[in-house]
Amino acid sequence: MNVDHAEIARLLEASRGAHQCYRDNVPRRVSAGATTVAVPGDATTARRAIFEALRLRTEADTLDPQHEAPAWRDEPMTHDDVALLNFYMQQLIDYPGLTGR
């Protein structure tokens, strides 16, 4: 299979950007001393971002299923690719605010 390394790198970089957008916008609770504070975030933006991160990473995986492109090795990830895809799917299933339910 002829893998376009530049395209894989572009897709993975864009997926990381979308993931960061999700993290910046997902509604959550944060620690504030002995209590927690709600951070409302922007559920619509978070939903779009996580869908985009999932789409981009899935496209990269489809174009390079053997992960031949160097960009895969350069990923600053704490989880493997399958775990990250599963995380995206689980977020979309578990959090009604992200899916509009």
Would you kindly state where each structural domain of the chain is located, as residue ranges? Answer: 5-99
Q: Tell me the pLDDT tens digit for each residue of 52-92.
A: 999 999 999 999 999 999 999 888 766 688 888 888 888 88
For the segment 10-33, what is each residue's pLDDT rounded down to a tens digit?
999 999 999 999 999 988 888 888
Give Cα 2 to chain centroid, integer Å.
26
What does the alpha-carbon distance between residue 84 and residue 96 come to, in Å, rounded to a whole number?
20
pTM: 0.81
Between CA 90 and CA 82 the distance in angstroms is 12
